Each structure stands twice: as C-alpha cells, then as structure tokens.
Amino acid sequence: MPEQEPKIALIGNPNSGKTSIFNQLTGLQQKVGNFPGVTVDKKTGTLELPGGIRAELIDLPGAYSFYPTSKDEKLVVQSLVQPGNDNYPDAIVYIADVTKLEKHLLLFSQLKDLGIPVLLALNMADVAEQEGLQYDLDKLSQKLGAPTLLLSGRSGEGMTQLKTMLAALLAQPASGPVDSTQYRLSPEEAKLIPQLQDKFPGYTPYQLVLLAHHVKWLPFLSPLQKEQIEEAISNSGFQDLQLQVYETMQRYDQFTPIVQQARDKDGDQSASFTDRLDDLLTNRFFGPVVFLA
Ligand SMILES: Nc1nc2c(ncn2[C@@H]2O[C@H](COP(=O)(O)OP(=O)(O)O)[C@@H](O)[C@H]2O)c(=O)[nH]1
Ligand SMILES: [Mg+2]
C-alpha cells in the first residue's frame, strides 16, 4: 500500500492569495473541516503532482509572524511548533505578495528556522507586471535559501511550475535537523536552548525558543512540560517581549537588503542615473555643490 500522502501547507500573511492559489491547485477536490477544539475553518484538498505523486494540501489561516495576536495566528503557531502533530507539514509553500515583499518576509524567515522544506511563491505576478516591478528570482532564491517562483492566484499563471517545483522539493532527501537560526541567538536564548533539547527531542533550536515565548497558551504542553519550560526561562533570564523585538529586528536587517538588491530598477540606464544623482544629492559634500550647479 502507498505510504501516507505528504502534507503540504500553504502559509502566508492574510490577503497574500493563499485561498486563491489553493483553489487553483485543488480545483473541486476540497474538504472543509475544523481545527480540533476551535471554530477556525480547516480547508484541505488533494493535489496531483507530476510523477503521479498525490499530496494533501492544507490552507492554513493567514499569519504575520510567530508572535500571534489572534486565534487564527495561534493556530498557525501551534501547528508548526510541535514536530509531528496532525497538521505538521512535510513541505511548505510560502505565499508572499510580490508587491509588498519586504513586509511579507518576516514569517518566511521564521519558517526557515523550522527545518521544513519551503518553497517561496511570489503571488500577484499580474499586478507586478502592470507596475513594471521585477525581481531577480535567482538572486532571491539563492540569498533567501528557497526555490522561488512568480505566480498569480488570479490568472493561474505559474501553477504548473509550482507543481513541478513541489514534486522536486518532496523528492529531495531530508536535509537533516536544523541546528542554527537565521538570526544570531541572544545570550539568553543560547542558555535556554540546551536546557530544553533533551526534553523535547526533534525540536529545532527556534522551536524551543517558541516554546518559551508561548508556554502560557500552547495547548499541547503537559503540566510537567510547562514546568520544565518555566524553569529554563528563569534559569536563562529569557525575556519574552524583549527577545521578540530583538529577533524581529535582526530578521528585517537580514532580508531587507536582499530584497532591495534583487529588485530590478525599471529601465536600467535611467534608474542607475537617478540613483547616482540621488547619491550625489544626499552626499554631504557634493550635494550642495550639485544643487547650486
Ligand atoms: N490581482 C491579483 N489579485 C489576487 C491574486 N491572488 C489573489 N488575489 C486577490 O487578493 C485578495 C486576497 O486573496 P485570498 O486568496 O483570499 O488571500 P488569502 O487571505 O491569503 O487567502 C482577493 O481579492 C483575491 O482575488 C493575484 O495573483 N492577482
Ligand atoms: Mg484565505
């Protein structure tokens, strides 16, 4: 008998186009259920990939980051913090609105620290084209560390390519456990992690950090586990809010220049001229001179 179908989760900020892409990919093969214990819709569908691979596609609620402010966002966090739970995906398609890329990459950056294979799908290709917005996809893919493609949930452009890339992603051997993070750990996090590692085998360092941030509400933790996490928190001086800010700022600092450098300025010549003029005008010494000229 075939093994269980691989689970693929669609994840992204609200309004990035997840549901549109979900519909494009699954057509009529959809089921709507509930996440256990809460009244949040869980949409699943069957995805047929090249090579006769069938996969289960899950349309998760939208989320901005792993620091949830709503029931929907909490669901995303609890599905992804605990390896092996019912909603834990084998691969992730991260949907980002290409016209708002800098804003949409925070959650992507956090996802990368889970060690789940992830594909970066830049949605709203039609809008980007109208606006003359272009990215160097190879550069983005290489610097952000994920296969990247452009698509449109509205026109359906890119869906075949997405399926081909997904099949390739699933065929890759698992890269092994992730033992580092996309950001520099604070001393407090560095102290916390080793205290939890043997109690939570299979968790990545970032998942352990998330346990500490969300110990108060994560529903799958036993009383004993909560105690162990609380103890590690007080032993390491872990500060929830302060470390959220520290982590978030570092992630923005990491991906913002990557996005800017991969964005092709419209019309090479004129853009680079304007750029240079900009540089000159804002230059402390030459600016005033050029202005006078
Ligand atoms: N122009 C354009 N609009 C899109 C595209 N994908 C989704 N939308 C629209 O963006 C809005 C949000 O899409 P939806 O799929 O509901 O996003 P979700 O919140 O991530 O599930 C809807 O009005 C869609 O019709 C696209 O590729 N191009
Ligand atoms: Mg939706």
Average of per-residue pLDDT across 181-194: 96
Query: Considering only 53-67, 140-154, 189-203, 259-273, which range has the smallest mean pLDDT?
Result: 259-273
Query: What is the per-residue pLDDT for 3?
Result: 64
Query: What is the per-residue pLDDT for 178?
Result: 78
Please tell me the distance between residue 251's alpha carbon and the centre of ligand 2 in angstroms: 25
Average of per-residue pLDDT across 149-154: 97
Q: Which long-range contacts (CB under 8 A, 24 or more apart) does 225-229 make?
A: 225/199, 225/200, 228/196, 228/199, 229/196
Beta bridge partners of 253: none
Please tell me the distance between residue 217's alpha carbon and the centre of ligand 2 in angstroms: 24
207-265 pLDDT, tens digit per residue, is 999 999 999 999 999 999 999 999 999 999 999 999 999 999 999 999 999 999 999 76
CA distance 25 to 251: 31
- For residue 129, which ligand has an atom nearest its CA? 1
Query: What is the per-residue pLDDT for 179?
Result: 80
30 pLDDT tier (thresholds 50, 70, 90): low
Closest Cα to atom 11 of ligand 1: 15
Please tell me the distance between residue 188's alpha carbon and the centre of ligand 1 in angstroms: 40
- Indicate whether residue 124 lines ligand 1 (CB < 6 A): yes
Q: The pTM is what? A: 0.88
Mean pLDDT of the chain: 89
Q: Which residues surround ligand 2, an ion (CB under 5 A)?
A: 18-19
37 pLDDT tier (thresholds 50, 70, 90): low
* Structure token digits, residue 52: 């006769």
38 pLDDT tier (thresholds 50, 70, 90): low
Query: What is the per-residue pLDDT for 173?
Result: 76
Query: What is the per-residue pLDDT for 154?
Result: 94
Angle between helical axes of 205-213 and 187-197 (0-180°, round to 10): 100
265-281 pLDDT, tens digit per residue, is 654 444 445 555 555 45
Kindly list the distances between the CA atom of residue 83 and the CA atoms of 88, 117, 158, 187, 288, in Å, as whole numbers in the listed order: 6, 13, 30, 25, 59
